[in-house]
A and B are shown apart, each in its own frame.
Chain A
Amino acid sequence: MVNTSVMLCGIKLDNPVIPASGTFGFGYEFADFYDINVLGSIALKGTTKNARFGNPTPRIAECRDGLINSIGLQNPGIDKVISEELPKLKNVFNKKAIANVGGFSIAEYVEVAEKFDNEDQIGILELNVSCPNVHGGGLSFGTDPKNVCEVTKAVKAVVKKPVFVKLTPNVTDIKAIARAAADGGADGLSLINTLLGMRIDLKTKKPVIANKSGGFSGRAVKPVALKLIYDVYEAVKLPIIGIGGISSAEDVIEFMLAGATAVQVGAENLVNPYACKEIIENLPSVMEKYKICKLKNIIGEAHNG
């Protein structure tokens, strides 16, 4: 009997599979289709201080083995998330969720993080300093080590729960950003967020996405994500949630070998609503195939020797 559990900052996950923020809403809608308690955890939709409609449509463009999205952090705002969304999740999910915190200023990140920190349902805070689809927010924070350090430090000063910083791949040196988050006191890192991308419609001769470009994700980005996780694992001694194009139990193992303690499945949820459940169900047999008894023992194994 194989063991799929992992420890993430003192929280035991039955398995390392977590739906990624922005691909699973606030979780409860998926409970109509399967028991979502099989999940390791759930990363909730990115939440900001105020309600946001997000960007104009079209905000989705299909690509080979992936898609570009430009949602722009549509969410009902932190107060409604706490009063309306979390109670709905609580009815169907008895584990701790990961709150994804968005913002446009350090003060906003702090305010939203502090409110989530008071919620028992939340196990980890994930600071989204890497959303490519909001101007003056997200990405600009995530590309500057100084900002990443400051926002992490400011949030850490007011919260008790572990803080993960979600990193963008759209930088020259992700290791410098990772170190800045570590210097700010981060408890872990989530990577990668989406890559900047664009599609152009040959008929209209204009970008498909109303905002012209967006964030590219899906199976195609997997090698990019693996390499960056591998690099960050060597640069900082913080647990990593690996994200980027995961679509199978084999992919989960590959990410853990690169250095991930847990993983998030993103775009795959959008093409197969049962993706996380199927990956979790397949994990034991794939572990047996590769003679892995305890999943937690393979974290970073690709770095040995």
Chain B
Amino acid sequence: MYKKNIYTVVSNKNITANIYEMILSGDTQYIVKPGQFINIAVEGFYLRRPLSVCFKTENAFTVIYKVVGGGTEKMSMMSSGVKLDVLTGLGNGFDTSLSGNKPLLIGGGAGVPPMYYLAETLIREGRKVTVIEGFNSKNEIFYENEFKSLGAEVIITTVDGSYGVKGFVTDAFIEDYSYFYTCGPEPMLKAVYDKTATSGQFSFEERMGCGFGACMGCTCKTKYGNKRICKDGPVLLKEEIVW
């Protein structure tokens, strides 16, 4: 169930390279699961900007976004107090009931943010969480300490080896995990799919029209029929994915 509402920018700051963290205050009751996303209307741009929820409280939520075009560039310049028209509570989100006791969370670059809300939820539910965060280089790393503060084990990988384990997230896999959750660029998701021994959940990205299931713009094929990434996803089970 989603809802359109007006939210107020509480803070909006550059946390690393071209990555920004924005906190918005307002009604968060429709955000019910980690892995769900919100869709922000940015003045001057026709379509909304879909962003995964990084964290939520009773009266505010956090999104982390990468500046990739005009819309996110405009967002990056918004100061506190700005009012935004946002749809919240979009997408199916992660199912934490399948996690087992030692879930492994794997996030790549701009795919890291939903892992934070997920880690927080899983830890609150008494799970022992390990997070692998993958980046290209040291200057792109974010939220290492934030994940540690939640009580998660954190492994960082960088492609150029400038920090943590040199290589991709799949080069830093741990042996002992009960289940996995992942979000990141599609080549990474595919590598995780091939590497993982257990079942797990993948959060996908696709160019969306509406973000709430009306336009069929983001449909993908699965073993259980066509699914809309925005409405029936963005989270798909490993068992249903067709690459």
Q: Which residues of A contact B (CB under 8 A)?
A: 22-25, 29-30, 32-33, 45, 53-54, 57-67, 69, 71, 74, 208, 218-219, 267, 269-274
Contacts and interface: CB of A to CB of B under 8 A. Distances in A.
20 contacts: A23-B210, A23-B214, A29-B212, A33-B3, A57-B219, A60-B208, A60-B217, A62-B46, A71-B215, A71-B216, A74-B219, A219-B46, A267-B46, A270-B47, A270-B209, A270-B214, A271-B47, A271-B210, A273-B87, A273-B214
A29 B218 contact: no
Contacts of B212: 29, 273
B207 interface: yes
B221 interface: yes
A30 B41 CA distance: 19
Report, nearest first, the 6 A-B pairs whose CB atoms are least far apart: A60-B217, A270-B210, A58-B207, A60-B209, A62-B47, A74-B216
Majority-rule SS of B interface residues:
loop
A208 B212 CA distance: 21
Q: Which applies to chain A's interface (DSSP): helix, strand, loop or mixed?
A: loop
Given A62-B47, A65-B46, A274 B208 contact: no
B57 interface: no
Given A63-B46, A67-B47, 10 more contacts: A32-B1, A59-B217, A60-B215, A60-B217, A61-B207, A62-B47, A69-B215, A74-B216, A208-B207, A219-B46
Contact of A53 (B4, B207, B210, B221): B221
Interface of B: 1-4, 41, 45-48, 87, 206-210, 212-221, 226, 231
Nearest to B68: A203
B243 to A, nearest CB: 14
Contact of A271 (B41, B207, B218): B41
B207 A57 contact: yes
A219 B46 CA distance: 9
Contacts of B226: 53, 74
A72 B93 CA distance: 28
B47 A29 contact: no
A29 B1 CA distance: 10
Contacts of A69: 209, 215, 217
A60 B2 CA distance: 22
A67 B216 contact: no
Contacts of A74: 216, 219, 226
Contacts of A272: 4
Contacts of A65: 46
Contact of B45 (A23, A62, A219): A62
Nearest to A218: B46
